[in-house]
Amino acid sequence: MKLSRPVSWFLLAFGVWSWVIWITFVKNLVADGSGLAFDDGRPTAYFWVHLLLAVVSFVLGTVVGAIGLRGLRALSRTS
């Protein structure tokens, strides 16, 4: 399958965006002072669920970004 240049750039940008957004979210989750993420210093179910969501998003963002990068590299070899 051959990806077009715009699609490859979109996939790469989506991968980078996913990392930026979720890193910010995890930082905010760890620094949470509202009591949602931690109860007496112990992580809550809210914390674990959202940490799992972040990890899955990191993995998916990496895979999608890598596909976009491979598409761009393939296009540069054929041009």
Work out the average pLDDT over 51-56.
Answer: 97
**Does the pTM exceed 0.75?**
yes
Residues 6+ apart with CB under 8 A from 47: 29, 32, 36, 37, 38
Work out the average pLDDT over 36-49.
Answer: 94
Of 17, 46, 13, 16, the C-alpha closest to 29 is 46
Rounded CA-CA distance 16/58 in Å is 10
* Res 77: pLDDT: 86
- Residue for token pair 């490859």: 8
* Res 1: pLDDT: 78
pLDDT at 51 over 70: yes
Rounded CA-CA distance 67/73 in Å is 10
